[in-house]
Amino acid sequence: MSEDKVIRLCKEGSCCPEVRVGATHVTIGEDDNTCTLTREQWEILKDKVLKNEI
């Protein structure tokens, strides 16, 4: 059983969204304001960011 990888994007005096990477899904956001992607969708998004397409 693998644990989710969690990256917190906190700055002093601001919100603290996180990226939670699981085996089948990736959740981005904080509290009730989140977006859940499949791993396939996440890989497409990550690829576009790395290629400076978005």
pTM check: above 0.75: yes
- What single string gives the DSSP state of each residue in 19-36? EEE-SSEEEEEETTEEEE
Asked if residues 49 and 43 have their Cβ atoms less than 8 Å apart, the reply is no
Which positions of the chain have pLDDT values less than 50?
Answer: none
At 32-42, the pLDDT tens digits run 899 999 999 99
* Residue range of the domain that includes 11: 5-50
The domain total for the chain is 1
CA 50 vs CA 42, 47, 53: distances in Å: 12, 5, 8
